[in-house]
Amino acid sequence: MKPKDKKIIKPHRPARLKNTRLRDLAVLDDFPDNIKFKAKRTPEKVAENYKKSMQLISGRILEMKSNYQYIIEADNIIYTATLSGRLKQFAFHSKSIVAVGDYVELDIAAEPPRIENILPRKNTLTRYLGTNFQRPNIIASNLDQVIVTSSWRKPMIKPALIDRYLCLAALDNIDAIIVINKVDLCKNRKELEETTSYYKTVGYTLLYTSALTGEGIDELRELLKNRDSVFSGQSGTGKSSIINRLEPSLNLPTAEVSDYNEKGKHTTTGTILIPWSFGGHLLDTPGIKTVNLSKDAKSQIPRIFPGFAPLAPLCYFNDCTHTHEENCAVLSALENGKIPATRYLSYVNLINSL
Ligand SMILES: Nc1nc2c(ncn2[C@@H]2O[C@H](COP(=O)(O)OP(=O)(O)O)[C@@H](O)[C@H]2O)c(=O)[nH]1
Ligand SMILES: [Mg+2]
Ligand SMILES: [Zn+2]
* 318-342: pLDDT as tens digits: 999 999 999 999 999 999 999 999 9
- pLDDT, position 263: 43
> Which residue of 210, 213, 230, 241 sits with most ligand 1 atoms within 8 Å of its CB, as the best mutation to test the pocket?
241
SS3 190: helix
pLDDT for 227 beyond 90: yes
pLDDT band, very low/low/confident/very high, at 10 (cuts 50, 70, 90): low
> Who wins on pLDDT, 354 or 10?
354
Pick the residue with more confidence: 323 or 7? Answer: 323
Residues of the chain above pLDDT 90, percent: 68
Select from 132, 127, 111 the least CA-distant residue to 283.
Answer: 127
Q: What is the pLDDT of residue 288?
A: 84
**What is the pTM (predicted TM-score) of this model?**
0.83
pLDDT-based confidence at residue 74 (cuts at 50, 70, 90)? very high
Q: Residue 262's pLDDT band (boundaries 50, 70, 90)?
A: very low
Lowest mean pLDDT among 111-125, 130-144, 200-214, 231-245: 130-144
Looking at residue 265, its pLDDT comes to 41
Average pLDDT rounded to a whole number, residues 247-255: 90
Among 47-61, 204-218, 288-302, where is mean pLDDT lowest? Answer: 47-61
Domain with CATH 1.10.40.50 in the chain: 297-352
* Least confident piece of the model among 84-98, 144-158, 297-311: 84-98
Closest CA to 226 of 278, 157, 290, 294: 278
| C-alpha span between 275 and 104 (Å, rounded) | 17
Is there an atom of ligand 1 within 6 Å of 245 CB? no
Find the mean pLDDT for residues 21-34: 61
Task: Please give the DSSP secondary-structure letter assigned to residue 100.
Answer: B
Task: Tell which one of 207, 244, 247, 254 to mutate to probe ligand 1, the residue whose CB is within 8 A of the most ligand atoms.
Answer: 254
Q: Which amino acid is at 203?
A: G
- Across 10-14, 91-95, 222-226, least confident range: 10-14
Cα(5)–Cα(124) distance, integer angstroms: 55
pLDDT of residue 137: 86
Residue with the bigger pLDDT between 313 and 253: it is 313
Question: What confidence category does residue 258 fall into, taking pLDDT thresholds of 50, 70 and 90?
Answer: very low
CATH number, span 297-352: 1.10.40.50
Q: Which ligand 1 atom lies nearest to the CA of residue 234?
A: 20
Confidence (pLDDT) at 261: 46
d(C-alpha 335, C-alpha 195), whole Å: 19
Give the alpha-carbon dihedral of 28, 31, 34, 37, to 10 degrees.
Answer: -60
179 burial (CB, 10 Å; 0-12 / 13-18 / 19+) is buried
> What is the spatial distance between Cα 59 and Cα 73, in angstroms, rounded to a whole number?
5
How confident is the model over 51-56, as a mean pLDDT? 82
| Displacement of CA 183 from its chain's centroid (Å) | 30
pLDDT at 26: 65
Closest residue (by CA) to atom 9 of ligand 1? 238
- Any idea which ligand is nearest the CA of 238? 1
CATH 2.40.50.140 domain range(s) in the chain: 53-118
Burial level of 57, CB count in 10 A (0-12/13-18/19+)?
middle
pLDDT at 166 > cutoff 80: yes
**239, pLDDT greater than 90:** yes
Length of the chain, in residues: 354
Q: Give the mean pLDDT of 25-53.
A: 60
What fold is seen in the domain 53-118? Answer: OB fold (Dihydrolipoamide Acetyltransferase, E2P) (2.40.50)
What average pLDDT does the chain have? 86
Region 157-178 average pLDDT: 97
What are the Cα distances from residue 261, in Å, to 46, 251, 253, 338? 53, 17, 10, 44
- Protein residue with its CA nearest to atom 23 in ligand 1: 255
Q: Which of 36-45, 74-83, 91-100 has the highest mean pLDDT?
A: 74-83
The number of the ligand 1 atom at minimal distance from the alpha carbon of 154 is: 10
pLDDT at 33 exceeding the cut of 70 = no
pLDDT at 7: 61
Provide the percentage of residues in the chain whose pLDDT is more than 70: 79
Q: Which residues make up the CATH 3.40.50.300 domain(s) of the chain?
A: 124-289
CA distance 251 to 200: 32
Instruction: Please work out whether the CB of residue 240 comes within 6 Å of at least one atom of ligand 1.
Output: yes
Whether 236 is in the pocket of ligand 1, judged by its Cβ within 6 Å, is yes
CA 258 centroid distance within chain: 26
Mean pLDDT of 149-162: 97
Task: Please say whether the beta carbons of 170 and 202 come within 8 A.
Answer: no
Instruction: Provide CATH code, domain 124-289.
Output: 3.40.50.300
User: Residue 15: pLDDT band by 50, 70, 90 thresholds?
Assistant: low
Q: Which helix (H) or strand (E) holds 352?
A: helix 341-352
